[in-house]
Structures are given as structure tokens and as C-alpha cells.
Amino acid sequence: MKDLVDHLRDCHELTPEQYRALLTMRNRQDVDYLMQQAREVSQQHFGKGIYVRGLIELSNACRNNCLYCGIRRSNRHVARYTLSREQVLACCQQGYELGFRTFVLQGGEWGEEQSQWIAQLIGEIRQRWSDCAITLSLGEHPRETYALWREAGADRYLLRHETHNQRHYSLLHPAEMSHAHRLQCLEWLKELGYQVGTGIMVGSPFQTIGNIVEDIEFLVDFKPHMIGIGPFIPQHDTPLGRFPAGSVDLTARLYAILRLALPHALIPSTTAMATLATDGRLRGILAGANVVMPNLSPTDTRKQYALYDNKASLGAESSQGLKDLAAELATIGYHINWSRGDAPR
């Protein structure tokens, strides 16, 4: 097993059978070796600094109906909200003063009628905080919309592919959504010069180890600048709300494999990791993740952005929240890196 880890570290690619072996190995020492190598590679490229991104949950209104997601269109139990322009700018102002230099605007997928409004908002953020990166996570849109937002000043875009297996994709999404269209969106985003992030949920319903191997192969081939991966967590008002949650261990193992395959990638230790385990965020970092995304959303709308049950929100809205994060990182010898943290080109 150690040979496989070394090979992945040195050559950045394995065969599907070899990925499967790493995902399923049970020997503790082998697993520790994988984690340790991933950590070392991460430290070679990024040191012990962890980038922070200020997450602003723009709206929980969504036209999509993904079977796993708490803010799906059909969920009548959600009180829908959309932040006002003033609220978003206030989040940015507060975030900037706290030290953030990346803002992530995330939200449900809206219709194209709203695209101009978002473009104006991006333009304003770009102008007022010109030294900050703007990341969008707003779902699937036509190429023209992505182009409009890019021209307005957006730098990065997060759009998880969710699963690279078409059959699996169709078990997680309604018939009107397609895996092919999602891939098309990812291609457009790359062409338009965005730093692009994609990824999956680990342990999503019906997922097999073989599916995860396919996802790794896709990621190695697509080479995203950022990789967003978290364990699946059921949301009780969704059709898949009775499936069990994914595993923090397997997710961390996947971070480690991807760190060795894509050494320069920006890999967040995600909120879902922190939701399932109190030390989830740290376990992600010890597996080679190098980003965390504290929540800058107004506290009263936060609970309404419930993609899954008991969603943690690392409260960075106060400087105390950041002190707590810094203290948590310090327990494993890491610190916050306050720079923009662009992906190496």
C-alpha cells in the first residue's frame, strides 16, 4: 500500500483498481501513511497556512429540485429569503474589516431574470473591495450569464458535479436535470477564465466505491482549481432524508488521495465535515485540505439555509469566531492565511 501512496504522490495518477485499493484499505498504518504524505505535500505547497473564504448565503430560493437538498423547490417547510443588496454589502464590509479577502456568494439556482441584478452586485463588490476575490456558487446558467458575471468582476465559480456516473446522477436529481449539462457548464466556466471548483458528496444515496473511483478519474482529468467535497447528510424534508449520512473518515481519505493527485488544488475542509464531527474540520486539514469557509451571512437567515439537518455554521461574523478558528487551528500547529489565495495557474 505504501508503494501505491508513493506512486500517487510522485506520478499523480493510479489505475481504477489502485484507487479502489486506497479507498478500501483497512490497515491503520497504511491509512496513516496516506494522510501523512497528503499533509506533507500540502505543506510543501501551502505551508501551514489555511486560507479563509467568507461565505455569504445570498438566497435559499431555488428552481431546482435535487432529491437530497433541503432548499429544493418542493420543500414547503422552508421560509424563503433573499438578502438585499444592502445586506450583502454589509456582510462584505464586515468581512473585509475582519480580514477576509475572498467573498463567496452562494445561493439556490435562480432564473435568468435575476442575472442582471447579480451582475450589478458583483460590480459593486469589485469596485468597493478591489483587492478581494469574488467567488460565485449559484448553479447552472447559460454561457452568456457566466460571461456577464465574469465581466462584472467574478473570479471563481463553484459547481459540484455531484457524481460522474450518469445513472447515479439520475438517482439524485429530477429528470429535467442532466449530468451532461452540468459538465457543459463546467467547460464554459473554464473557457471564460474562471478558477473553477467542482466535487461530490461522499456517501450520497446509491453511491458505490466504483462511483467514487469514477469521480477521482474525472477530477484528475478535469483538473479543477478547487475541489469541494463533503459527506452527505440527510435533510428530513427531502425524498432522500432517510438515508444514512456519509463518513467523515472516507471523506478525509478522499481529500488525501486528491491532494496527492492534484497537489496544487485548493481543497476546503467543508462545513458538512464540521457538522458530522466536532473535530471534522481539523481531520480534513490533517488529510491535506487547505481552505475553510466561515459563514458571514446574517445570523437570522442562516438557519433557513439548511441544505441538510443540523448544519454547522462556524460563526465568523464576530472577531471572536475567528479567534476560535485560529485557536482550533493552533491545536494542530496551523494558522490562518489571510491572503486572497488564488489558484496557481
The residues binding ligand 5AD (CB under 6 A) are 68-69, 160, 162, 201, 230, 232-233, 235, 272, 307-308
Rg (alpha carbons) of the chain, rounded to whole number:
19
CB of 61 to ligand 5AD, least distance (A): 14
Shortest distance, position 117 Cβ to ligand 5AD, whole Å: 21
Whichever of 57 and 96 has its CB closer to ligand 5AD, that residue is: 57
Output 7 or 190, the one with its CB closest to ligand 5AD: 190
Place of cell 477530477: 219
Which residues are within 8 A (CB) of 72 and not within 5 positions of it... i.e. 6 or more apart?
62, 64, 65, 66, 238
Beta partners for 196?
157
Residue 260 in contact with residue 41, Cβ under 8 Å? yes
* Beta strands across the sheet bearing 291-292: 291-292, 49-52, 335-337
C-alpha dist (Å) from residue 57 to 27, 29, 138: 40, 40, 10
- Shorter beta-carbon distance to ligand 5AD: residue 230 or 288: 230
Name which of 41 and 118 has its Cβ closer to ligand 5AD: 118
User: Nearest distance from residue 86's CB to ligand 5AD, in Å?
Assistant: 25
Grid cell 486539514 — which residue? 285
Closer to ligand 5AD at the Cβ: 155 or 162?
Answer: 162
CA–CA dist 324, 328 (Å, integer): 6
Please state, in angstroms and as integers, the Cα–Cα distance from residue 26 to each residue in 3, 16, 271, following that order: 16, 18, 26
Least Å from the CB of residue 201 to ligand 5AD? 5
CB of 221 to ligand 5AD, least distance (A): 20
Q: Contact at 8 Å (CB) between 273 and 283? A: yes
Instruction: Supply the minimum distance, in Å, between the C-beta of residue 118 and ligand 5AD.
Output: 17
| Closer residue to ligand 5AD, CB minimum distance, 64 or 94 | 64
264 closest CA partner among 12, 7, 20, 34: 12
